Amino acid sequence: MSDGPQSDVGKPLVLVVDDQVSNIQTVGTLLSRSGFDVMPATSGAQALERASLRTPDLILLDVLMPSMDGFAVLAQLRARPALRAVPVIFLTAANERELLVRAFGAGAVDYVTKPFVAEELLARVRTHVELKQMRDHLERIARERADLTQIVAHDLKGPLSAIQFSASMLGQQVGQDSSRARALIESIGVSASDALHFIQGYLGRWADGELRRRHTPVALALRPLCERKLANYHWAAGSRQMQLVLDIQGEPVVHADLMATRHVLGNLISNAIKYGQPDTTIDIVVGPGRAGFCKLSVMDRGPGISNADQQKLFRRYVRLGSINAEDRGESSGLGLAIAKQEVTQMGGHLWYEDRPGGGSVFSFELPIEGQSAAD
């Protein structure tokens, strides 16, 4: 049993707080023999001081102590960010059980009555230490993944900026008669610009501590957005002898986020080109949906999606069995899941249907500007 903050490295640390030294010795001996490192404290003030020097994995805390009782100590622990998540088990005499409701309300995770049964105390301590260690492990993994993602997003800004600059410089040097080259250069510049805007927004959300995309719904005209997206993918479709055809009724305006809508439509068109059959037409149809919504559909003549794959279509990290091995290697299994999340956050719906005559239809609806589903 340790008198202060030093302990054996690797052993779970339990802070035992009791104004009776004999109780600390009994509990400490039991825990030490069972593989725990024990840090004693004979008062609430000493417990807070020692916990601040080295964060314990669990605290066994006596309820009734002079000067500062267990509830006051627990309140102080919960007020300190570094100690807020430490699980606290109250040690209480059998005649103090009426305090348990108050104890759980204050944030205690469990209790052990005195005189305690050794096996019961060890079982409760082990359970809550393991739960805390598991939470700590998951939080550490989440932080590491978040850091890695932020680094990747940040590092992508450099090459994308270079692509954008090079496309701009090439555009200034291409002659007026080089229409195809100029169109390709413009597509490179637009794609790099879209990617940079996405990454900048992503990094901004991390800076604000927000994990999900922050949407800014606006009155969004769909015709120019769709025409721009088709222009971006014109050469990619042509390389596979495919043709992109836009069929749009009227001049629909939806209430949606610009970047999110671009991302969803681009993802569906890209998939249609990747998985569709050569020498076919990809139809992008925009028209009325349910009451208060506008519907956008991307229709290809690919192999379609099996019933089994349709059940897991929008799950994260799922690669479909109907996709050949080469294409599965290029897929992260995230595109459709993210697209569905984007549409849902904008108040819409995204779904799949088989295309009559063969192929796939991915459709999504967005609220019409100035209307609601109830109008």
Do 106 and 79 meet the contact criterion of CB atoms below 8 Å apart? no
Residues 112-147 as b or e (16 or more Cβ within 10 Å = b): bbbebeeeebbebbbebbeebeeeeeeeeeeeeeee
Average pLDDT over residues 10-39: 92
Backbone dihedral angles phi then psi of residue 183, each to the nearest 5 degrees? -65, -40
- Residue keyed to tokens 């609220």: 367
- Enter the CATH code of domain 217-375: 3.30.565.10
Instruction: Output the pLDDT for position 280.
Output: 95
Residues of the chain with CATH 3.40.50.2300: 13-116
Instruction: Output the pLDDT for position 330.
Output: 46
Do 61 and 73 meet the contact criterion of CB atoms below 8 Å apart? yes
What are the helix (H) ranges across the chain?
21-33, 44-53, 70-79, 100-106, 118-173, 179-207, 222-238, 258-275, 307-310, 325-330, 335-345
Instruction: Output the pLDDT for position 326.
Output: 47
Of 58-72, 112-126, 204-218, 233-247, least confident by mean pLDDT is 204-218
Residues 170-195 as b or e (16 or more Cβ within 10 Å = b): eeeeeeeeeeeeeebbebbbbbbebb
Instruction: Output the pLDDT for position 113.
Output: 84
Share of the chain above pLDDT 90, in %: 41
The DSSP annotation for 185-244 comes to HHHHHHHHHHHHHHHHHHHHHHHTT--S-----EEEEHHHHHHHHHHHHHHHHHTTT-EE
| Residue bearing the bigger pLDDT, 346 or 95 | 346
**pLDDT tens-digit readout, 135-188:** 888 888 777 676 656 555 655 655 565 566 666 666 666 665 567 676 767 777
- For residue 163, with 0-12 CB atoms within 10 Å meaning exposed, 13-18 middle and 19 or more buried, which class applies? middle
Share of the chain above pLDDT 70, in %: 75
Do 52 and 39 meet the contact criterion of CB atoms below 8 Å apart? no
13-116: CATH, from 3.90.380.10, 3.40.50.620, 3.40.50.2300, 3.40.50.300: 3.40.50.2300
Backbone dihedral angles phi then psi of residue 310, each to the nearest 5 degrees? -65, -30
Instruction: Output the pLDDT for position 15.
Output: 95
Average pLDDT, the chain: 81
Backbone dihedral angles phi then psi of residue 216, each to the nearest 5 degrees? -125, 90
Average pLDDT over residues 336-340: 83
Peptide bond into 115 cis (omega under 30): yes
Of 130-139, 140-149, 268-277, 286-295, least confident by mean pLDDT is 140-149
Do 1 and 36 meet the contact criterion of CB atoms below 8 Å apart? no
**Helix 222-238 / helix 258-275 crossing angle, nearest 10 deg:** 30
How far does Cα 194 stand from its chain's mean position?
22
Instruction: Output the pLDDT for position 46.
Output: 93
Q: Is the pLDDT of residue 375 over 50?
A: no
Instruction: Specify the pTM.
Output: 0.51
Do 61 and 102 meet the contact criterion of CB atoms below 8 Å apart? no
Residues 6+ apart with CB under 8 A from 315: 333, 337
Q: Is the pLDDT of residue 286 over 90?
A: yes
DSSP summary character for residue 85: T
Do 322 and 358 meet the contact criterion of CB atoms below 8 Å apart? no
Distance CA 41, CA 91 (A): 14
**pLDDT tens-digit readout, 69-107:** 889 999 999 889 889 889 999 988 766 667 777 878 888
Q: Is the pLDDT of residue 373 over 60?
A: no
Rg of the chain over all Cα atoms, to the nearest angstrom: 31
Residues of the chain with CATH 3.30.565.10: 217-375
Distance CA 27, CA 49 (A): 20
Residue at 60: amino acid letter: L
Do 105 and 71 meet the contact criterion of CB atoms below 8 Å apart? no
| Residue bearing the bigger pLDDT, 62 or 282 | 282
Residue at 303: amino acid letter: P
Do 57 and 12 meet the contact criterion of CB atoms below 8 Å apart? yes
SS3 assignment, position 294: strand
- Residue keyed to tokens 């994990």: 211
Instruction: Output the pLDDT for position 333.
Output: 54
